[in-house]
Amino acid sequence: CVTYWEVFQSTDWTLAARLDCSVRKARKLKSALSELFLRIYELSGEAAACKTQIVCSLLVRAQLPVSRGGLGGSALIVYTEGSFPAERTMQVARGLGTGMDPMANLLVKPAITAEDLHATMVTGLGQVLSSSFNNPAQLPVRLVIIDSLAAPLRTRYDRDEMGERQTIIEDIFSAIRLQMRSHAFVCLITNQVTDLFDPEPEYAARLLEMAADNVFPGVDPHNAPGDPRDKVLSSGRYMTPALGATLSKHYDTRLMAAKGRPVMNTGALTTRSLHLLWDRERDLTPGKVSFVVTESGVVGVEE
């Protein structure tokens, strides 16, 4: 049986005839699949904004069949700090009632230093992807997560080594784009954040007042300093992705998770918010969705 993925990966379109459809239809199909995959997303946020919870949920959901909202494949996570939360990932799978072992189709690669990360992505990524696609006992990798990119780079390089750091960044993203053309997958890269400060005391006083009132809006283009697309108010402070200008050109979509406040209709669970800062090709309007963390992962709520 010829699958859509065989059409997607075909370069000469000969499989289109075997599917009894025109080349035009096959190209439309390939375009639609490219819209879903072949994209690099950034997810930034401060500590306790639940980036890890989102990552665990995605790692499990990626393994679900397409009929259940998944990607029907395996997942690869490259973590650069701490340890991989295997127990939490398995808890999410149990909470969703998947009936599967999420670790069976999950590839975990540590890369603690900048040198390790560079080697893993530039040399090792292609080998891992090819192995998963050629192994009939394993689902092909459809999701690649780096958690996180900025952590080893900010630790390793000083201000006088920015040129070397930029070379490492370019190599990593070039490797991801190259492998995307051969193996259809979606990539998510988590990032740290830095605080933004405004010199005007009136603005600082307003932020303190909003924090005291537990008001946590999202993007505020009228009052936030600088480019309003790359900042979110979290914990009463405006934050922006780390290495924001350096990394922004490599992403297709930029997201940021932010802390929130307890919501009565969720049983006093603390809500967080996920903000769409911008999308390069779809030109989507910036906005946000609210969510809480449960045993089965992240769940959207209405405030």
Closest residue by Cα to residue 169 from 152, 182, 183, 184: 152
Angstrom distance (rounded) from CA 248 to CA 262: 32
Q: 30 and 46 in one domain?
A: no
Angstrom distance (rounded) from CA 85 to CA 160: 35
Strands (E), the chain: 40-45, 74-79, 106-110, 141-147, 186-191, 193-195, 232-234, 237-241, 253-258, 272-279, 287-294, 297-301
Q: Is residue 276 part of a domain?
A: no
Identity of residue 230: D
Give the containing element (helix H, strand E) for 129.
helix 125-134
Look at the chain and report how many structural domains it folds into.
2
CA angle at residue 231 from 225 to 234, to 5 degrees?
Answer: 110
Kindly report the number of other CB atoms within 10 A of residue 160's CB atom: 7
Angstrom distance (rounded) from CA 297 to CA 228: 30
DSSP state letters, 65-82? -GGGTS-SSEEEEEE-SS
pLDDT at 217: 38
Q: Is residue 222 part of a domain?
A: no
Q: 132 and 242 in one domain?
A: yes
Q: Is residue 223 part of a domain?
A: no
Per-residue pLDDT tens over the stretch 131-180: 877 777 778 899 999 998 988 998 888 878 888 999 999 999 999 999 99
Q: Which residues of the chain have a pLDDT value below 70?
A: 1-37, 197-229, 260-268, 282-283, 303
Q: 72 and 7 in one domain?
A: no
Angstrom distance (rounded) from CA 288 to CA 245: 22
Q: What is the pTM assigned to this prediction?
A: 0.77
Q: Is residue 221 part of a domain?
A: no
Kindly report the number of other CB atoms within 10 A of residue 296's CB atom: 16
Kindly report the number of other CB atoms within 10 A of residue 98's CB atom: 17
Dihedral pair phi/psi, residue 74, rounded to 5°: -95, 175
Q: 122 and 103 in one domain?
A: yes
Cis, bond preceding 148 (omega within 30 deg of 0): yes
Q: 112 and 19 in one domain?
A: no
Six-digit token pair at 111?
Answer: 């890369």
Six-digit token pair at 10?
Answer: 């075909």
Checking DSSP bridges between strand 106-110 and strand 74-79, what pairing results, if any? parallel
Kindly report the number of other CB atoms within 10 A of residue 29's CB atom: 16
Identity of residue 39: R
Six-digit token pair at 160?
Answer: 């006088």
Q: 128 and 30 in one domain?
A: no
Q: 246 and 126 in one domain?
A: yes
Q: 159 and 121 in one domain?
A: yes
Q: 44 and 188 in one domain?
A: yes
Kindly report the number of other CB atoms within 10 A of residue 219's CB atom: 20
Do 36 and 253 meet the contact criterion of CB atoms below 8 Å apart?
A: no
Q: Is residue 78 part of a domain?
A: yes
Domain extent at residue 168: 39-212+234-255
Q: 144 and 15 in one domain?
A: no
Six-digit token pair at 5?
Answer: 């993925």
Q: Is residue 295 part of a domain?
A: no
CATH of the domain at 244: 3.40.50.300
Q: 43 and 25 in one domain?
A: no
Closest residue by Cα to residue 39 from 300, 274, 289, 255: 255
Q: 250 and 207 in one domain?
A: yes
Q: Is residue 137 part of a domain?
A: yes
pLDDT at 243: 83
Q: Is residue 54 part of a domain?
A: yes
